Amino acid sequence: MAEVRVQAEPFDIAEETERLLGARANIGGIGSFLGVVRSDPDRPLAALCLEHYPGMTERAMQRIAEQAEQRWNLLGCRVVHRHGRLLPGEPIVLVLAAAAHRQAAMEATAFLIDWLKTKAPFWKQEEFADGERAWVAARDTDEAAAQRWG
């Protein structure tokens, strides 16, 4: 039931939610997370460039989504992650987790984004307004967040 996609083009949150809901009456709640490219006011970002290996990235994301579905008995989930050159303020990732009850939906959503941040194979490079570029390194805080799920 999990659907994952990696795409360059923007996604529509309402459309993705409607596709997850369908005409089903057994869904009691949908947890959601929308990640947005942010810029630091102390060092303005011109863009964030994301690279991935097609096929490999989707398979890793699918495994993560299936783990969430099993662990929280989800009724479905959708994960859409963008790649390419994204500007500050643009949506980068959408996670939706549907469950019979809100707690499962919210916990699964947190798990999904924590594991996507640390286990989905994306390579991120920041382009700063001053023209400098830098690869984004993994953060200890992201690793710590993912570890809480075991």
pLDDT in tens, 20-44: 999 889 999 999 999 999 999 999 9
Domain holding 62, by residue range, is: 3-147
Q: What is the CATH number of the domain that holds 73?
A: 3.90.1170.40
Stated pTM of the model:
0.94
pLDDT of residue 1: 77
**Residue 63 scores a pLDDT above 80:** yes
pLDDT of residue 144: 85
pLDDT of residue 115: 94
pLDDT of residue 146: 84
Number of domains the chain is built from: 1
